[in-house]
Amino acid sequence: MDLGLKDQVVVITGAGRGIGREAALTFAAEGARVVAWDKDVELAHEVVAGITKAGGTAMALGGSVGVRQEVEAGVARALEAFGRIDVLINNAAFGDDAPLVDMTDEQWDRVLNVCLTAPFYCARAVAPTMIAQKYGRIINIASRAHLGEVNKANYCAAKAGVLGLSRALAVELGVHDITVNTIAPGIVRTERVLAQPGYEGLNERAQQRQLIKRAAQPSDIVNGMLFFASRTSGFITGDLMYVTGGRLT
Ligand SMILES: NC(=O)c1ccc[n+]([C@@H]2O[C@H](COP(=O)([O-])OP(=O)(O)OC[C@H]3O[C@@H](n4cnc5c(N)ncnc54)[C@H](O)[C@@H]3O)[C@@H](O)[C@H]2O)c1
């Protein structure tokens, strides 16, 4: 099926590694022009080098998506390079776990900033362009953790907030033919997750609760992104797609 992504400009935050990196490589392979954005700009450059080597088109952006000025500057650079923005994927995230009684204000603020405020900054910065184009796709990456997880009050609250943000933007932007949807992954085999102490046990427990009895790969999440980014999904907005192998608890 042709997803209609050829030459589309796709901005992906947190594209330097993990799910975001897989997304950047996959969208580029579909013919999209990719803006690979990561605060670790070296990683973003490596992703762009891989895309270019494979014959695709991409540019790297550095800077934190949690800083308004850096978001505005990054979006301006993307527009300068490619002239339009069709798809925004708010994927960058950051966790800093602690039991509630030990969680500091800084831990709370840092996680809320990257996981919730940054998607707001990025959506606000691309919206004027998408409104002028009368076309856009915003895809926010939340987490199954919005249902609650131990030692993650900051992350769970931020990801639950992403659901509310997505709904609000879908309501506001639908009139401009801009869709806004959310993907909530379960546990996914990324470098970060694999490096966590006790990953094997975590993964085993996750799989016991999943209906599909295997570990999720980044590509499982990217398949959901491709669908929401495609022309095919143009009548679907404000929606939440769980990509958890059927695990909800
Ligand atoms: N991996 C999982 O098991 C899992 C589960 C549920 C949800 N998710 C969600 O999927 C998304 C991707 O997860 P992942 O595991 O690939 O993450 P990851 O930690 O492997 O990669 C995140 C990337 O975001 C970048 N980043 C962090 N803060 C940034 C900032 N302020 N500005 C710009 N870039 C920044 C990091 O440098 C990193 O390259 C996240 O939204 C995460 O919450 C992941």
- Is the pLDDT assigned to residue 1 strictly greater than 90? no
| 204 inside domain | no
Among residues 224, 137, 157, the alpha carbon closest in space to that of 186 is found at 224
Average model confidence (pLDDT) across the chain: 97
Query: What is the length of the chain?
Result: 249
* pLDDT 10s digits, 161-183: 999 999 999 999 999 999 999 99
Q: How confident is the model at residue 201 (pLDDT cuts 50, 70, 90)?
A: confident
| 98 inside domain | yes
Q: How far is the CA of 229 from the centre of ligand 1 (A)?
A: 19
Q: How confident is the model at residue 205 (pLDDT cuts 50, 70, 90)?
A: confident
Q: How far is the CA of 157 from the centre of ligand 1 (A)?
A: 16
- Is the pLDDT assigned to residue 128 strictly greater than 90? yes
Question: Which residue, judged by its Cα, is nearest atom 23 of ligand 1?
Answer: 14
Identify the weakest region by mean pLDDT among 27-31, 47-51, 205-209, 241-245.
205-209
- CA–CA separation, 51 vs 56, rounded Å? 5
Q: What percent of the chain has pLDDT over 90?
A: 94
- Is the pLDDT assigned to residue 202 strictly greater than 90? no
Atom number in ligand 1 closest to CA 185: 6
CA distances 121 to 54, 69, 75, Å, are 32, 9, 10
Mean pLDDT of 103-126: 98
Q: What is the pLDDT of residue 5?
A: 98
| 4 inside domain | no
Mean pLDDT of 36-58: 98
Question: Which residue, judged by its Cα, is nearest atom 43 of ligand 1?
Answer: 93
| C-beta neighbour count of 35 within 10 angstroms | 29
Range of the domain at 152: 9-190+217-241
Number of domains, the chain = 1
| C-beta neighbour count of 197 within 10 angstroms | 7
Can you spell out the DSSP letters for the chain?
A: ---S-TT-EEEEETTTSHHHHHHHHHHHHTT-EEEEE-SSHHHHHHHHHHHHHTT-EEEEE-S-TTSHHHHHHHHHHHHHHHS---EEEE---------GGG--HHHHHHHHIIIIIHHHHHHHHHHHHHHHHT-EEEEEE--GGGG--TT-HHHHHHHHHHHHHHHHHHHHHGGGTEEEEEEEE-SB--HHHHTSTTHHHHHHHHHHH-SS-SPBPHHHHHHHHHHHHSGGGTT--S-EEEESTT---
Q: How far is the CA of 94 from the centre of ligand 1 (A)?
A: 6
Mean pLDDT of 23-41: 98
> Rounded to 5 degrees, what are φ and ψ at 87?
-135, 135
Q: How far is the CA of 31 from the centre of ligand 1 (A)?
A: 24
- Check: CB of residue 140 under 8 Å from CB of residue 119: yes
Pocket test for ligand 1, best of 38, 48, 64, 70 (most atoms within 8 A of CB): 38
> Rounded to 5 degrees, what are φ and ψ at 96?
-150, 85
**One-letter identity of residue 162:** V
| 14 inside domain | yes
- Is the pLDDT assigned to residue 244 strictly greater than 90? yes
Mean pLDDT of 74-97: 98
Q: What amino acid positions are annotated as catalytic residues? A: 155
Looking up tokens 């490096």 gives 195
Judged by phi (left if over 0) then psi (alpha if -120 to 50, else beta), residue 42 lies in: alpha
- Is the pLDDT assigned to residue 87 strictly greater than 90? yes
Residues having CB within 6 Å of any atom of ligand 1: 13-14, 16-20, 38-40, 43, 64-66, 91-94, 114, 118, 141, 143, 185, 187-188, 190, 192-193
Atom number in ligand 1 closest to CA 216: 3
Q: What is the CATH number of the domain that holds 176?
A: 3.40.50.720
Q: What is the pLDDT of residue 4?
A: 95
